[in-house]
Chains A and B, each alone.
Chain A
């Protein structure tokens, strides 16, 4: 079984590597328990049940399916995605996701995982924009979620490290910060209303604080299986959901506004290990 194989290699890596470094593949449940051990955070510990179920996370199955899709010859061009460059060279997946969003010279844009995948699916495999492989962005049964979960899992345990060398990366991150704190709409909310203080709750749910990288890493560790929705969800799905709850307009996937926001929120978790795939309420 590929999952068992994956877990075995995580276990072997853990045994062989000795002291844990921030840049090696680690099983998500191990990353989380390590974070909990080192940090006092009611956000990280809020669901004992979810923590217990991490090794049986349904998102691990999706990562398996995504792996098969990634290496399969598909689309009008009948080629695999092995030449897809996610920022660290064609086909290099390990540690690639924690360095997104980043600037890509071939498009002249800062791109997140989802927009980069769309680019690879359309330019390499030749899928049309309205092909369900490209256009269906949400739900565990979508190719998009399978591929995103597989690719992201190849960074589990790696420290978030979005590059800021290119001026556009910095510009997008800074605009994302403005978007994060920008109050608007009929409820006067911004992302900062809920995510700029530690240990606060909405109803019974503990909120993650963007000012605490050690808990914010879990907040941005998408894809994650959302127990309440029984689906694996993406970063973009979280952004859309937050704007919906804030009573503000629908965020458009792949737009520079969405990518800027992700640039800021990824930068805020810099240095902390990713938990991929994660499991959330």
Chain B
């Protein structure tokens, strides 16, 4: 698991706390800082890490504690700030995010290849894995999935697909299976911020929530000519 540095926002919260702590001796429990003297960001960090907002000591599947999950890395931090600012993505920020994503990329030693689309389909359909708290997903009992269908259309015959992300129906038949397209698809699954800075899409490779093998299986589901994703839907009156 990656180690993530404490964020500047957290440091700011702690500094504000220290400053406010001496000033607000009248608070009920003595130690609590004056919330009204803190920036919204500093207060949010304080509420998460210092004020018992979450069960931070719970174990996680990747071996750390829940606290690690709440510490933002730079991409999470920049994209949060951008969203809160209400501003559109500017070129400098986009370049910074893309550069961070580029630095994070790791490629399979044996090169990028298509795996088994049938396994890829299971991964695309399964939302299991990495949930913590009142009920932890048990990875020994079931392999984590990628939950692609939560946000994307894939097989054009599947009706229960989400629309938070773009439709990927016919992904391979529209794009072909050149080495460049394989790399492009791998990059998006590994860390989509490389091409889409501040995308909503999870960084499956970067976080290790999908294994190298699982990524190649999902790639096969997207790209293999015989995958259901690349078949024409039957003509019906509805379509």
Contacts and interface: CB of A to CB of B under 8 A. Distances in A.
A125 to B, nearest CB: 22
Given A175-B47, A179-B47, A186 B133 contact: no
Interface string A87-110: 000000000000000000001110
B75 to A, nearest CB: 8
B67 A249 contact: yes
Interface residues of A, number: 51
A52 to B, nearest CB: 22
Dominant SS at the A interface? Answer: mixed
Interface string B44-76: 100110011111101000100011011110011
A175 B40 contact: yes
B52 A249 contact: no
A203 B149 contact: yes
Dominant SS at the B interface? Answer: loop
A272 B167 CA distance: 33
Q: Which of B28, B40, B67, B163 has the largest number of chain A CB atoms within 10 A? A: B40
B188 interface: no
B30 to A, nearest CB: 12
Contacts of B69: 184-186, 247-249
Contacts of B43: 171-172, 174-175, 178, 260
B107 to A, nearest CB: 21
Contacts of B202: 186-189
Contacts of A200: 162-164
Contacts of A190: 80, 83
B133 A250 contact: yes
A202 B149 CA distance: 8
A19 B171 CA distance: 54
A255 interface: yes
Interface string A181-209: 11111111110111011011111100100
Interface of A: 107-109, 167-168, 170-172, 174-179, 181-190, 192-194, 196-197, 199-204, 207, 240, 243-245, 247-252, 255-258, 260
